[in-house]
Structure 1
């Protein structure tokens, strides 16, 4: 740091420090003045926030310096209205003491983290936010840059409400060498994509998962996978169910398409933009114009082949765009692996996160607002489990080909589920599905494209109509399917009541039923129930409603 004759603190002989804006794991961000160009800028001071951290991790200073250079290079490639502009980097002279400073555009507005401290955002604002951040990510991906830490603290809001993506300090550049050692997770646990936890890097789809989770938190006012510790959060990210959105309106189906654990099944950037614009149109709001993305030197990053599944499991077996984990059977293996990490590195290093520059200093929080995390969705009368007042169940399934009237009340009743199955049958000619998930307002299923086919389509049932959503991947030869017409749906109301008691969730605010083949090769029904605090779990039962096991969060 230099001192001028007037006693001002100058960085690089040019940038006068005014006041700190915030601090985090990477150091402090300052408001500063460029005395050469007479404008205000933001300066990121890249160093450990306290001497104790530096003493405990002697190599951290060098690593942070490399990260600062990486961020500067990443941002220098991008000239985009929704990506923070980098002006300059000040590095200490060779052999001299000191640390780097990144000189950036000063965005005169708070972060999304700050905004969410006052509660969820209107859906129209969330859709605009999503389009802005997606536009920034598509521009970055086109230049071979993956952000890898999309979260509310790294999204700034201009006074006009537009969003700016910042903090590319842990971005992955095309052809660059990783800065972290094997087994170290980079990013914030609540927003990291599940495939990255498993070790798959280089996927643009991972940034889109993080964006989807950010939009979920912004619209719903609660993070669906936040747990008491970072380790528990990582386990939740890997395979715990994501409650269906209840406040998101037309954004809800987009989130369900996006927050799937198979990265191949997620919509790409172009498709996601179309989905967000359609949702905005459905809401009746004007869709903001986002500048087109020009392909850069490297073009969109090419995803590597999927990771091999863990022994005895298939991590990406279910590619249906649903919230529930398709592989709860992997949970013991995954937990064992994470515990092995904890035992090898000590309790404090069970899940090691690089400093992330969060101005709120909450690695375990991942930049989400504590106020937002505690604001759960309001219970709805239509969500009283197992009961639909005023609804008279039908005695049997309507004859094939008969008109299907839109159901009344929740879909989680025997009669309404049978009505949905009949609607699927009229469109596909079969009641034999790979799986099915039933929510209060809609049903999602995956159905083979033809008898004996390995290819599978995703279908949705909403408002009395069954519609194809798109391809949902493949199944292996010999994989068991389920004839949904033979499931004992009449046992469901009693199973739901038993699940409420067994899980200790008498008034769930989120619930759905997952019907698919269990790890032992037998068909199963699994009711998932949770309250606004994420407490709950699921009950494993056979298709006659007999409970086999209870899994609590």
Structure 2
């Protein structure tokens, strides 16, 4: 590095003039710079720990970062895609000091910066997804896995196009040297795929999980699996259910397909591209059309007697035409009717209106006659119903004509007071048996002993079993993973909402060698202990003003020999804590918010 005599700014390699620092992280610092040879602005990545103490604590860190810098440069040089940051040059000083990567300067902000302002509209998230997917497909085509797709590593150009950056920890298929010590975790805990946490190097599907989580966060405005510590977050990524998206609209089915823990069940890049395109074309993903401009009123031409016409200014300056009075038809004794002139007052002086053609008069009069006939008929029925006697009232009449409001047979009068029965309180409709009536919708939160039993019974009705791989109960709905049949290695997904349970699709495969995935009998748990468990959580989890409560039941990594109840609290500031209890409600672990 030297100093420019003209600007007195540091020069890198005698050519790149540092202007300002753009940001820094674990891989080094990124600067805005000017290439004085080509007179253009570029981004320079200074590859060294931003804190010298890091290098002192790990003497080999500088060499490792150098190798990573070369890896990133080579990875990016193999890609040609508008959604991948372009690399121009790599500077390797002869004195052995840290290298510099010269890259395209992307004006704009990162997705992380954009999300600090709130969730993104679904249409923008879909565009973001297509851009990042395009970059990942280009990388995967040449054997590169990014391994760290997250909001901070995606930049947004001023026109909204996404650019994927930071391939510093990318895995190259033809690279055999490992750059991390055995057991080190590569990637950000919140966005890393479950299989990578388990130690599998992963494949393109692992990057697609990270993309799915990025899109979830962008649309929903929060991370569904972020916990108080990195360890708790990793546990959540491994086996906790992902809350159903509520803001994602047409994107929601795509997220459901992507965020499954079995990588073999995720769509590949080509299929995902089609899913995003279909979601983008869905009506709910389109921006609302602008309201059409209000018509500008013009002069009105009204006919006058004798066939002439008068031009009248627009209706803003002249009162609306008064309605033409209609004759009234009134019933007379014996079934005849009399036409009576309308008693409405005449229009005020100076107010004129166009005469109504005869056809219009007849069209208006017909509904009035029909409505009047219906009112008279209903009044006659009501009068007959309440006559004290006279051959048409009383129990005998009710028995003969059950359609008039009394039950057929029995000779008993219906009560004269009380609200009428609603359809759900009467006999089933045509083609239904009494047993086929719709189940009663649970009242209030599902997180009560009685309502949890209602949920379990509803899932049993549609699946034939009370054995679950996992059961998650929110206050408004519940999700379940249920084996396809007794002893099966496969499971399906189910949902309970508004009093009804239904199968929502294929789940995945139950690994027999994984204790965390083995089914359990939900009917054997002590649900009477749930209220006390929740009260203890409210006292001990230290979550201020909790906005979300839910319960996850399944075999837990730290207690996999039996089903575990985990009660969670979280608030809008992402503070989360949970209690873990055994099947009898005894608390075995507490993880308060920090």
The verdict on a shared fold, with TM-score over 0.5 as the criterion, is yes
Shift of 1:157: 0.8
* Cross-structure match for 2:141: 142
Secondary structure at the counterpart of residue 284 of structure 1: helix
> 1:451-491 deviations in whole A, cap 9, x for unaligned?
44332222334564613322411364999755556777677
* Cross-structure match for 2:82: 81
> More deviation in 267-276 or 452-461?
267-276
Counterpart check, 1:469 vs 2:509: no
> 1:269-289 deviations in whole A, cap 9, x for unaligned?
4555555556555671249xx
CA distance in 2, matches of 1:480, 1:190: 25
Contact 2:190 2:237 in 1 (8 A): yes
* Cross-structure match for 2:64: 63
* Cross-structure match for 1:457: 492
Larger RCO of the pair (alpha carbons < 8 Å, separation 6+) = 1
* Cross-structure match for 2:590: 552
How many pairs were matched up? 439
CA distance in 2, matches of 1:400, 1:271: 44
Structure with larger Rg: 2
Out of 494, 509, 520, which is 2:547 matched to? 509
CA distance in 2, matches of 1:399, 1:139: 60
Out of 421, 434, 443, which is 2:469 matched to? 434
Shift of 1:261: 5.0
CA distance in 1, matches of 2:223, 2:5: 51
Q: Cα 1:247–1:68, aligned 2, differ >3 Å: closer, same or farther?
A: same
Structural mapping, 1:479-518, within 5 Å: 481-482=519-520, 496-497=534-535, 499-501=537-539, 503=541, 508-516=546-554
CA distance in 2, matches of 1:515, 1:229: 21
> What is the TM-score normalised by the length of structure 1?
0.66
Shift of 1:180: 1.9
Contact 1:27 1:47 in 2 (8 A): yes
Shift of 1:158: 0.7
CA distance in 2, matches of 1:427, 1:229: 38
* Cross-structure match for 2:29: 28
* Cross-structure match for 2:204: 204
Contact 1:459 1:470 in 2 (8 A): no
Secondary structure at the counterpart of residue 167 of structure 2: coil
CA distance in 1, matches of 2:277, 2:494: 21
Contact 2:250 2:285 in 1 (8 A): no
Root mean square deviation, CA, Å: 4.1
Contact 2:568 2:576 in 1 (8 A): no
Q: Cα 1:75–1:175, aligned 2, differ >3 Å: closer, same or farther?
A: same
* Cross-structure match for 2:285: 285
Q: Cα 1:196–1:433, aligned 2, differ >3 Å: closer, same or farther?
A: closer
> More deviation in 532-541 or 242-251?
242-251
Out of 512, 516, 535, which is 2:576 matched to? 535
CA distance in 2, matches of 1:286, 1:148: 32
Shift of 1:551: 3.0
CA distance in 2, matches of 1:419, 1:444: 13
CA distance in 1, matches of 2:249, 2:192: 25
Shift of 1:233: 5.2
Q: Cα 1:433–1:102, aligned 2, differ >3 Å: closer, same or farther?
A: same
Contact 1:529 1:538 in 2 (8 A): no
Q: Cα 1:6–1:235, aligned 2, differ >3 Å: closer, same or farther?
A: same
Shift of 1:516: 3.6
Q: Cα 1:25–1:415, aligned 2, differ >3 Å: closer, same or farther?
A: closer
> 1:399-430 deviations in whole A, cap 9, x for unaligned?
97655577776554667656655665565455
CA distance in 1, matches of 2:23, 2:482: 51
CA distance in 2, matches of 1:434, 1:247: 28
Contact 1:515 1:524 in 2 (8 A): yes
Secondary structure at the counterpart of residue 65 of structure 2: helix
> What is the TM-score normalised by the length of structure 2?
0.62
Q: Cα 1:87–1:498, aligned 2, differ >3 Å: closer, same or farther?
A: same
Contact 1:147 1:172 in 2 (8 A): yes
Secondary structure at the counterpart of residue 17 of structure 1: strand
Q: Cα 1:246–1:549, aligned 2, differ >3 Å: closer, same or farther?
A: farther
In the alignment, structure 1 segments of 5+ residues that lack a partner are 288-391, 393-397
In the alignment, structure 2 segments of 5+ residues that lack a partner are 288-423, 425-432
CA distance in 2, matches of 1:419, 1:231: 34
CA distance in 2, matches of 1:201, 1:110: 31
* Cross-structure match for 1:214: 214
Counterpart check, 1:156 vs 2:155: yes
Contact 1:413 1:492 in 2 (8 A): yes
Shift of 1:152: 2.0
Contact 2:47 2:99 in 1 (8 A): yes
Secondary structure at the counterpart of residue 547 of structure 1: coil
Contact 2:228 2:576 in 1 (8 A): no
Shift of 1:109: 0.3
Shift of 1:128: 3.0
Secondary structure at the counterpart of residue 69 of structure 1: helix
* Cross-structure match for 1:110: 109
Counterpart check, 1:45 vs 2:86: no
Secondary structure at the counterpart of residue 529 of structure 1: strand
> More deviation in 458-467 or 252-261?
252-261
